[in-house]
Amino acid sequence: MGPYSQGDVARMREKWYKSAIIDLIFDGGRYLSIYVIKYQYPNFLA
């Protein structure tokens, strides 16, 4: 693992989880809005 203490590893992992969850939420929102625009408002992109 290297020169990291257990607390450092836990903190880094928590930070990574948080950013991964935020990325998922933003990606999900983007895909959802694309889906809604494409299927609810097909004339919007035509």
CA dist list (Å): 45 to 5, 7, 12, 42: 53, 50, 42, 6
Residue 1 lies in a domain: no
How far apart CA 30 and CA 34 sit, in angstroms, is: 6
DSSP-derived secondary structure for 12-41? HHHHHHHHHHHHHHHHHHHHHHHHHHHHH-
Predicted pLDDT at 5: 87
CA separation for the pair 4, 12 (Å, rounded): 10
Would you state the pLDDT for residue 22? 92
Q: Would you say residue 10 lies in a domain?
A: yes
pLDDT of residue 45: 57
Q: Tens digit of pLDDT for each residue in 5-46?
A: 888 989 999 999 999 999 999 999 999 998 888 888 777 655
Q: Into how many domains does the chain fold? A: 1
Where in the sequence is the domain holding 17, given as residue range(s)? Answer: 6-45
